[in-house]
C-alpha cells in the first residue's frame, strides 16, 4: 500500500532514471492532458511531497507532472525496450529517455501544472516526514489544533503531517497504546507519536519490506491486517472497523482492544 516511504522511494528511483535526461517520448493518457507533449524537454528533477510525486520538466519556469498513487498506483522503471510487467491499458503516463522508460500505472490522479502552481497544489500539506521541511513542532501544533478529533483521523490527515497512510496510522496508535478514537487532547504521549512516526518512515524508506516490529523476516506489523491472527503482542483478536468523517473517507481501522483499551488514556 503506497505511503510516504513508498512515494519517497519512487521519487528517488524516478529521479535517478530521469533527472538531467532529455525526453524522447511523453505519452500522458489522461483526457484533459492527452495533448501535452514534453518530448525534447529535459527533466530537472523528481521529488516527493508527502504522498505526492512531482516530476519537474524544463527550467525553473517550466512544468510539473503531478501524480498521486492513491491505493493502486505505482511507477515502474524499465530499460529501453524492456517488456512491461503491467498491462499497457493500465498505463497513465509514459516518459522515455534514450536509456529508460518510466511508466505510471493506475495513478490515483495525474495533472500537469506550471511550476508556479506547485504551491497551490501541495502547499496545504503539513510538514513532510521525509522531506527537508520536516518540523516536529509544527506537526504537533497542527495535530493539536483540533483537540476533539479522534487521533486515528488526525494522524491520517495530510494537512497535519504528510506521509502517514493507513498502515502507519494503525501501527502508530498501537505502539503508543492509544485507542484510535481517543480525542487528540487526551493522548498524553502525542509528542512521542510524532517522533515515532518520523522514526518509522525513516527506517522503512529505503527498503521494500515495511516493518514496525523490527522483524523483516517474520511478522512485520503489530495489528494491521491481523484481524484473523490476533495482536502480535498479546494474541487478542484484532478489531477491524472503518473510520472516517466529513473530511476523510472511510478507511479500514485495526486495533487491539486489550493493548489499546477505549476506557484508558494513552500512557505517557
- Residue 169: phi and psi, rounded to 5, are -55, -50
- Nearest CA to 104 out of 118, 86, 127, 129 is that of 86
Give the Cα separation of 158 and 141 in Å (integer). 14
Query: Cβ(172)–Cβ(165) under 8 Å?
Result: no
Phi, psi of 76 (to 5 degrees): -115, 145
Cell triple for residue 85? Answer: 510487467
Catalytic residue IDs: 2-3, 51, 251
The C-alpha cell that represents 251 in the structure block = 478507511
Contact present, 43 and 21 (Cβ < 8 Å): yes
CA–CA separation, 6 and 149 (whole Å): 27
Separation between Cα atoms, residue 94 and residue 117, nearest integer Å: 22
C-alpha cell at 215: 522483524
Cβ partners under 8 Å of residue 41, min gap 6: 22, 23, 26, 57, 58, 62
Q: For the chain, how are helix, strand and coil distributed in percent, rounded to 5?
A: 25, 25, 50
Chain-centroid distance, C-alpha 87: 24
What is the Cα–Cα distance from 238 to 258, expressed in whole angstroms?
Answer: 9
Cβ distance 238 to 252 under 8 Å?
A: no
Amino acid at each position: 500500500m503506497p505511503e510516504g516511504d513508498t512515494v519517497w522511494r519512487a521519487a528517488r528511483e524516478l529521479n535517478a532514471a530521469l533527472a538531467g535526461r532529455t525526453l524522447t517520448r511523453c505519452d500522458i493518457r489522461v483526457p484533459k492532458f492527452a495533448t501535452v507533449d514534453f518530448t525534447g524537454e529535459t527533466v530537472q528533477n523528481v521529488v516527493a511531497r508527502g504522498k505526492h510525486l512531482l516530476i519537474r520538466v524544463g527550467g525553473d519556469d517550466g512544468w510539473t507532472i503531478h501524480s498521486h498513487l492513491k491505493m493502486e498506483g505505482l511507477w515502474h522503471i524499465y530499460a529501453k525496450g524492456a517488456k512491461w510487467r503491467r498491462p499497457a491499458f493500465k498505463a497513465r503516463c509514459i516518459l522515455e529517455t534514450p536509456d529508460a522508460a518510466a511508466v505510471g500505472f493506475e495513478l490515483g490522479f495525474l495533472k500537469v501544472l506550471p511550476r508556479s502552481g506547485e504551491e497551490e497544489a501541495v502547499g496545504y500539506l503539513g510538514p513532510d516526514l521525509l522531506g527537508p521541511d520536516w518540523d516536529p513542532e509544527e506537526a504537533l501544533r497542527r495535530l493539536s489544533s483540533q483537540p476533539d478529533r479522534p487521533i486515528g483521523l488526525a494522524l491520517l490527515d495530510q494537512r497535519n503531517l504528510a506521509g502517514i497512510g493507513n498502515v502507519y496510522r494503525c501501527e502508530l496508535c498501537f505502539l503508543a497504546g492509544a485507542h484510535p478514537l481517543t480525542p487528540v487532547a487526551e493522548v498524553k504521549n502525542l509528542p512521542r507519536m510524532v517522533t515515532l512516526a518520523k522514526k518509522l518512515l525513516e527506517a522503512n524508506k529505503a527498503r521494500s519490506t515495511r516493518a514496525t516490529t523490527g522483524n523483516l523476516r517474520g511478522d512485520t506489523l503489530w495489528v494491521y491486517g491481523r484481524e484473523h491472527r490476533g495482536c502480535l503482542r498479546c494474541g487478542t483478536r484484532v478489531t477491524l472497523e472503518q473510520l472516517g468523517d466529513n473530511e476523510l473517507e472511510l478507511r479500514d481501522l485495526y486495533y487491539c482492544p486489550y493493548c489499546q483499551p477505549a476506557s484508558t488514556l494513552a500512557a505517557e
